[in-house]
Amino acid sequence: MPTLSRWLIRTGLGCCVAAFLLGVALAVPALRAAHPALAAAWPAYIHLLVVGWITQLIMGVAYWMFPRVQRGTSGGESAGWAAYATINLGLLCRVIGEPMVGLPAGAVSAWLLPLSAALQLTGILTFVVVIWPRVRSR
Amino acid sequence: MPRLSVWFIRAALVALAAGAAVGSLLLAAKASPAGGRLGYLVPLHAELLLIGWVVNLAFGVAYWILPKHAAGRERGHPAPAWAAFVLLNSGVAAAAFAAAAGAAPLLLAGRAAQLLALACFAAHAWSRIKPFGRGRAVRAN
């Protein structure tokens, strides 16, 4: 398994653990009442699962298993690493910034959320460009 | 990779890019006063990613890697799987548009097409869900 796939899959597992922990915290009414920011973390919980876990797992397996364009080539490895970095940095910005919306510290989210959006979109589009030529008939 | 898998997986990648673009717009707008006005795009975002991305990818990879038949066409007759591709993507397009525009009859038609796509794909894949190396000819004996 390529190094990039190992990082994608392990980070995906980390996101899954983080999402499940957040899911437990969201299910405790006393915690939600004590920390208003937690109540706003529901979309972050969903995106940790769908982007951080499921999509990243798919990316890791696709990068590993899809046929290489030319045997022995890197298969867009540096672009793949860029996709990995931007998606995870974007997700981190979201997890930090989203619960701040509407709170006194909300000014931070005014730039953190657009940054997160730009990073994640860049990462996804980069992954699509990297993997597209490898989706082909024999 | 068989040609139908290429179509399924490329459709999945298109849906991923489109769904991510809509999601980025929603997220970027969330911290601004205009954010609430884009709420009607949330169902479109969910449709593109949950059905368009995940289901297309699952069908494409399943058609490619499920065990092949020992006799006859190795993946069985492709017609039900091609029908699943056409129905699924018509259904996603219809439901995504209807969800954003609030067109209930079109949403129902899209969902019905997705259900038919699932039935077609299940009809294709059911006999291929078996241990590797075991074919129809072996099972008949």
Per-residue pLDDT of chain A (138 residues; tens, 9 = 90+): 999 999 999 999 999 999 999 999 999 999 888 888 888 889 999 999 999 999 999 999 999 999 988 766 666 889 999 999 999 999 999 999 888 877 766 677 788 999 999 999 999 999 999 999 999 986
User: Among all residues of chain B, which has the CA nearest to that of A47?
Assistant: B23
User: What's the pLDDT at A72?
Assistant: 62
- Does residue B81 contact residue B126 with C-beta atoms inside 8 Å? no
Chain A residues whose CB is inside 8 A of the B58 CB are none
CA distance A82 to A59: 13
Closest CA to A53 of A2, A84, A19: A19
DSSP output for A30-72: HHHHH-HHHHTTHHHHHHIIIIIIIIHHHHHHHHHHSPPSSTT
CA distance B17 to A71: 27
User: What's the pLDDT at B138?
Assistant: 47
Q: At CB < 8 A and 24+ separation, what contacts does B31-39 make?
A: B31/A97, B31/A101, B31/A106, B31/A109, B31/A110, B31/A111, B31/A112, B31/A113, B31/A114, B32/A110
Q: Do A118 and B9 touch (CB under 8 A)?
A: no
CA distance A36 to B79: 53
DSSP output for B61-115: HHHHHSPPPSSSSTT--SHHHHHHHHHHHHHHHHHHHHHHHT-HHHHHHHHHHHH
- The tokens describing A94, both together, are 């979201």
pLDDT digits (tens, 9 = 90+) for B78-121: 999 999 999 999 999 999 999 888 888 999 999 999 999 999 99
Interface with chain A: mutation pick from B9, B10, B30, highest number of A CBs within 10 Å: B30
**pLDDT over 70 at B135, yes or no:** no
Is the Cβ of A36 closer than 8 Å to some Cβ of chain B?
no
User: What's the pLDDT at B121?
Assistant: 96
Q: Supply the ipTM of this predicted assembly.
A: 0.90
Is the Cβ of A114 closer than 8 Å to some Cβ of chain B?
yes
User: What's the pLDDT at A105?
Assistant: 63
Q: Do A67 and B25 touch (CB under 8 A)?
A: no
**pLDDT over 80 at B133, yes or no:** no
User: Among all residues of chain B, which has the CA nearest to that of A125?
Assistant: B17
Is the Cβ of B79 closer than 8 Å to some Cβ of chain A?
no
Closest CA to A63 of A124, A10, A2, A122: A2
User: What's the pLDDT at A71?
Assistant: 65
User: What's the pLDDT at B16?
Assistant: 98
**pLDDT over 60 at B137, yes or no:** no
User: What's the pLDDT at B90?
Assistant: 97
Mean pLDDT of B1-28: 96
pTM, 2 dp? 0.90
- Does residue A126 contact residue A59 with C-beta atoms inside 8 Å? no
Question: Count of residues for chain A?
Answer: 138
- Per-chain mean pLDDT for chain B: 90
Split at pLDDT 50, 70, 90, the class of B33 is: confident
Chain A residues whose CB is inside 8 A of the B23 CB are 117, 120-121
